[in-house]
Amino acid sequence: MATTTILPDVVDKNDLLELYTDPDTCPTDALIPRPLAEEPAFVAWQQDIPREYLAMEPEELDQRIRTARATLGDQLVILGHHYQRDEVIQYADFTGDSFKLAQLAAAQDRARYILFCGVHFMAESADILTPESVTVMLPNMAAGCSMADMADPDDVYAAWDEIHEALGDDASVVPITYMNSAASLKAFVGEHDGIVCTSSNAPKTFDYAFDRGEKILFFPDQHLGRNTAYSMGIPLEEMVLWNFRVPGGGVDPEALKRARVILWQGHCSTHQRFSVEQIEKAREEHPGLKVIVHPECRWEVVQAADDNGSTEKIIRTVTEAEPGTAWGVGTEINLVKRLAEANPDKTVFCLDPVVCPCSTMYRIHPAYLAWCLEGLVQGHVTNEIRVDAKTREWSLVALERMLALP
């Protein structure tokens, strides 16, 4: 992979994409600490980071982060998502999946600042769940989520209207949004008697919705929606896929009337890489292998696996497994690598040998942490995530409905 240490004054992202993006390779084998300017995440950097941070070596960044962190003491909490790279997650006070981190954010009653090492929608949820006096920051504002971006709020509002026009007076639809969505969509479901879900509690949210309506509109991840509905006994024939790019979602009106679940045509680019062929190959190579995958994987992959569940469930299942067992895991590579290191008495590997890390999580580089923390030491807040009052009010309703589930 090409790298550069010579920094032009004006950086053209297209040039950098050409430098760092090779469709035949993946940075999995290149996940090594290096200056921000020398790695793939640089293609999606936040341009206003002071240039002095770009070329800093990992050792200098580490020392500066630790010094600033120590100065800030308990007025700061750093939250880290499991998919973060090692050289970032090492600074987290708490780690977890999006559900656990949402709970942890809500539980912070002493910190004035939360530095959220995750992606944009997670930092928004942390802001919604914490008192107004708490400031939430995201180290790199370019750290979004490609799945969340597939549900543009205007497309969802338009789909809601079209579905109700098609169903007429019989419409009885409850919206569920996956945690991986914009705050405005969480507010939308809050206002429409719906609920937020995570991969940990999706079946409970389906029960919640079916207690209140006949159909569910589930967005943005079609796979989590389909896998959840199927696991609850709803056949594939009673689900339709809403293509937000075409009028009427491309759904036959009669099929829409029969459907119990309307799935948004979104997906996670990281989890969609896993395939049945990978599972079959892994089983051939490792007799007795157990396979566990994330429910953001395709339906046929989940069906071919022995088990599926949230990131927290994957960690728990492998950790509690018998010594000597072998596990093929279908989720993000940084998590799988750490799981393998934490379980040396088992064989643990990622089902996709060249799987990419979550490319948006990967945009959080230690240089951004150093920038945010040193700014705070000097009294500046960098990259504050602040959800407006009306969005906050209704999204909090939807999130609290989720957190109140038994």
Helical (H) or strand (E) element with 79: strand 76-81
Comparing CB distances to ligand SF4, the nearer of 4 and 28 is 28
Q: Is 224 an interacting residue with respect to ligand SF4 (CB under 6 A)?
A: no
| Binding region for ligand SF4 (CB under 6 A) out of 125-133, 144-152, 206-214, 363-371 | 144-152
Backbone CA torsion sign across 176, 181, 186, 189: negative
Q: Which backbone phi and psi does 24 adopt, to 5 degrees?
A: -90, -10
Q: Is 127 an interacting residue with respect to ligand SF4 (CB under 6 A)?
A: no
Q: Is 199 an interacting residue with respect to ligand SF4 (CB under 6 A)?
A: no
Among residues 65, 104, 145, 239, the one that binds ligand SF4 under rule CB under 6 A:
145
Q: Which residues pair with 266 in a beta bridge?
A: 221
As measured in angstroms, the least distance from the Cβ of 59 to ligand SF4 is 29
Comparing CB distances to ligand SF4, the nearer of 242 and 362 is 362
As measured in angstroms, the least distance from the Cβ of 314 to ligand SF4 is 13
Count of chain residues binding ligand SF4 (CB under 6 A): 13
Among residues 39, 87, 97, 332, the one that binds ligand SF4 under rule CB under 6 A:
332
Question: Helices 98-107 & 389-403, crossing angle to 10 degrees?
Answer: 110
Query: Residue type for 48, please?
Result: D
Q: Is 180 an interacting residue with respect to ligand SF4 (CB under 6 A)?
A: yes
Helical (H) or strand (E) element with 348: strand 347-350
As measured in angstroms, the least distance from the Cβ of 368 to ligand SF4 is 17
Cβ–Cβ contacts within 10 Å for residue 7, how many?
A: 11
Q: Is 147 an interacting residue with respect to ligand SF4 (CB under 6 A)?
A: yes
As measured in angstroms, the least distance from the Cβ of 119 to ligand SF4 is 5
As measured in angstroms, the least distance from the Cβ of 247 to ligand SF4 is 27
- 170 burial (CB, 10 Å; 0-12 / 13-18 / 19+) is exposed
Structure token digits, residue 402: 């989720």
Q: Which backbone phi and psi does 81 adopt, to 5 degrees?
A: -75, 150
**Coil, helix or strand at residue 132:** coil
| Binding region for ligand SF4 (CB under 6 A) out of 40-48, 252-260, 297-305, 353-361 | 353-361
Comparing CB distances to ligand SF4, the nearer of 265 and 360 is 360
Whether residue 153 is preceded by a cis peptide bond, meaning omega within 30 degrees of 0, is no
Q: Is 360 an interacting residue with respect to ligand SF4 (CB under 6 A)?
A: yes
Dmax (CA) of the chain: 64
Among residues 49, 268, 370, 402, the one that binds ligand SF4 under rule CB under 6 A:
268
Of residues 361 through 400, those in contact with ligand SF4 by CB under 6 A are: 361
Residues 378 and 126: their CA atoms lie apart, in Å, by 24
| Binding region for ligand SF4 (CB under 6 A) out of 70-78, 103-111, 357-365, 375-383 | 357-365
Calculate the dihedral angle through the C-alpha atoms of 205, 208, 214, 216, rounding to the nearest 10 degrees. -20
DSSP 206-242: HHHHHTT-SEEEEESBHHHHHHHHHHTT--GGGEEEE
- 37 burial (CB, 10 Å; 0-12 / 13-18 / 19+) is buried
Q: Is 146 an interacting residue with respect to ligand SF4 (CB under 6 A)?
A: yes
Q: Is 28 an interacting residue with respect to ligand SF4 (CB under 6 A)?
A: no
Q: Is 124 an interacting residue with respect to ligand SF4 (CB under 6 A)?
A: no
Structure token digits, residue 12: 């053209």
As measured in angstroms, the least distance from the Cβ of 389 to ligand SF4 is 27
Among residues 88, 104, 119, 176, the one that binds ligand SF4 under rule CB under 6 A:
119
Comparing CB distances to ligand SF4, the nearer of 135 and 360 is 360
Q: Is 358 an interacting residue with respect to ligand SF4 (CB under 6 A)?
A: yes
Q: Which residues bind ligand SF4 (CB under 6 A)?
A: 83, 119, 145-147, 180, 268-270, 332, 358, 360-361
